[in-house]
Amino acid sequence: MSTSFFGKYIVPEAATLRNTDSYRTIPPIDDGAAREVLYGGTRLLNLASNNYLGLSSHPELIEAATKAATRHGCSSGASRLITGNFALAETLEAELATFKHQEAALVTSSGYAANLAVFTALADRHTVVFSDRLNHASIIDGVLLSGARLVRYRHLDMGHLERLLAREALVDKKIIVTDSVFSMDGDVAPLARLVELGKAHGALIVVDEAHAMGVLGRGRGLTAALGLSEDVDVHVGTLSKALGSLGGYVAGRVETIELLRNRGRSFIFSTALPPAVLGASLAALRHIKSNPGLGARLMRLSKQIRDHLIGLGFDTMGSTTQIIPVSCGRNRVALHAQALLRAEGLLVAAVRPPTVPQGTARLRLSLRADLTDDDLKRIRLGFSRLRVTFFP
């Protein structure tokens, strides 16, 4: 009987979990994408969301979402392949493809779903996927679902990748996949070398730009910033972070997108995004196109804050972007530092295993382009005070 499973396994496991410092709860936060959030009634500066450009509350997005909902209702009704199509989705895909310098694009219900679609469509049990050890969980899940063999190389280590590629020389179907900006470290992939290796070994190259889209390369991502748009085969990204909306996308050659439409399980077997979301995404994309300097402003203020933290003696773990980790090591230290910063009016994420490797708990600041000079002052002051506790 299911009750015995509940009593025997679920209750004790939940009880054990509750007593560990990796136990997770949903924080008492309201309005989590805003520049300032309410945390149990206190106003905190929000350095924890991925709303990097503050677009989620931009009037252009709200108006587009409202218009689309008024005209088309609140649901898409079914999978795109059945009845869930809207002209808005096709316009968004065409504009995304152009923006990413690609022939075609496909929009999915999330960035998570985009990676599931990529690997279930393009990989199978005869494929070997070479994946940076710190790639996002959705990449790992996509590979697992595809039945391909996962080979993980050390973070950013192109020498290691090269040796692993050579070891699998007899395998015909090879894919190399990397995040462009790493979500918990804020460092960037060595894409030029990765592209060279991919070409030399006949591997398909997949780059996930979730944290770079809207930010780097005048909003087009790291591939565009490095002039590698044409050298990367499959471009994955999200509309849920800097674009301030919801959804994922894949961009590439026409035939690649055709396979995704036919075989991407998360695309086929899930209801399409609703009109309001499509409207907001399209407005966000157009906003970024006509304001290409937003990302550069974010990079400038990120550098100021990072330099300040390094000057105080904090280890920012190789970050070069708007995502700035502060190394803490043990979970308890990260949670303590987070609480101290909260008292300084700052909301910062404390990231712990299994999101990051054991023993590498950290604070994670994600900065945003709409921070004011006063906000930046508050951040600097908060960390200066934290330092006294960290390095007494």
Ligand X SMILES: *Cc1c(COP(=O)(O)O)cnc(C)c1O
Q: Classify 98 as helix, strand or coil.
A: helix
Q: Which amino acid is at 323?
A: I
Residue 267 contacts ligand X per CB under 6 A: no
Q: Which of 186, 217, 248, 382 binds ligand X (CB under 6 A)?
A: 248
**Per-residue tokens: 7:** 């009593």
The contacts of residue 111 (CB under 8 Å, 6+ apart) are: 138, 208, 210, 236, 237, 238, 239, 240, 241, 247, 248
Q: Which of 56, 102, 240, 266 binds ligand X (CB under 6 A)?
A: 240
**H/E element, 37:** strand 36-39
Residue 187 contacts ligand X per CB under 6 A: no
Q: Which residue is nearest to ligand X (CB)?
A: 111
* Active-site annotation holds for 211: yes
Q: In angstroms, what is the minimal distance from the CB of 142 to ligand X?
A: 10
Stretch that binds ligand X, among 26-34, 105-113, 252-260, 341-349 (CB under 6 A): 105-113
Q: x/- string (CB under 6 A) for ligand X, residues 190-219?
A: ------------------x-xx--------
Residue 186 contacts ligand X per CB under 6 A: no
The contacts of residue 208 (CB under 8 Å, 6+ apart) are: 111, 115, 135, 136, 139, 177, 178, 179, 180, 236, 237
Residues binding ligand X: what is the number (CB under 6 A)? Answer: 14
Q: In angstroms, what is the minimal distance from the CB of 238 to ligand X?
A: 4
The one catalytic residue in 201, 235, 241, 287 is 241
Q: In angstroms, what is the minimal distance from the CB of 34 to ligand X?
A: 18
Residue 185 contacts ligand X per CB under 6 A: no
Residue 178 contacts ligand X per CB under 6 A: no
Residue 147 zone, left/alpha/beta (φ > 0; ψ -120 to 50; rest)? left
Q: Within 107-166, which residues bind ligand X (CB under 6 A)?
A: 110-112, 115, 136, 138
* Active-site annotation holds for 319: no
Is 172 within 8 Å of 126 (Cβ atoms)? yes
Return the ∠ at Cα 28 (arms to 22 and 34), rounded to 5°. Answer: 110
Q: Classify 67 as helix, strand or coil.
A: helix
Q: Which amino acid is at 30?
A: D
The one catalytic residue in 100, 136, 174, 211 is 211
* Active-site annotation holds for 287: no
Residue from 51, 22, 15, 26 nearest 36 by CA = 51
Q: Within 281-340, which residues bind ligand X (CB under 6 A)?
A: none
Q: Which of 93, 132, 179, 370 binds ligand X (CB under 6 A)?
A: 179
Distance CA 349, CA 342 (A): 10
ω into residue 357 within 30 of 0, thus cis? no
The one catalytic residue in 109, 183, 281, 366 is 183
β-bridge mates for residue 179, sequence order: 208
Q: In angstroms, what is the minimal distance from the CB of 137 to ligand X?
A: 8
Q: Is 201 or 220 the residue whose CB approaches ligand X more closely?
A: 220
Q: Which of 46, 49, 56, 238 binds ligand X (CB under 6 A)?
A: 238
Residue 102 contacts ligand X per CB under 6 A: no
Q: Is 52 or 314 the residue whose CB approaches ligand X more closely?
A: 52
Task: Spell out the alpha helix ranges (H) of the chain.
Answer: 2-5, 11-18, 59-72, 87-99, 111-122, 137-146, 158-167, 191-200, 222-225, 254-263, 265-268, 275-290, 294-311, 331-343, 373-390
Residue 221 contacts ligand X per CB under 6 A: no
Q: Is 48 or 386 the residue whose CB approaches ligand X more closely?
A: 48
Contact positions vs ligand X (CB under 6 A): 110-112, 115, 136, 138, 179, 183, 208, 210-211, 238, 240, 248
Residues carrying an active site annotation: 183, 211, 241
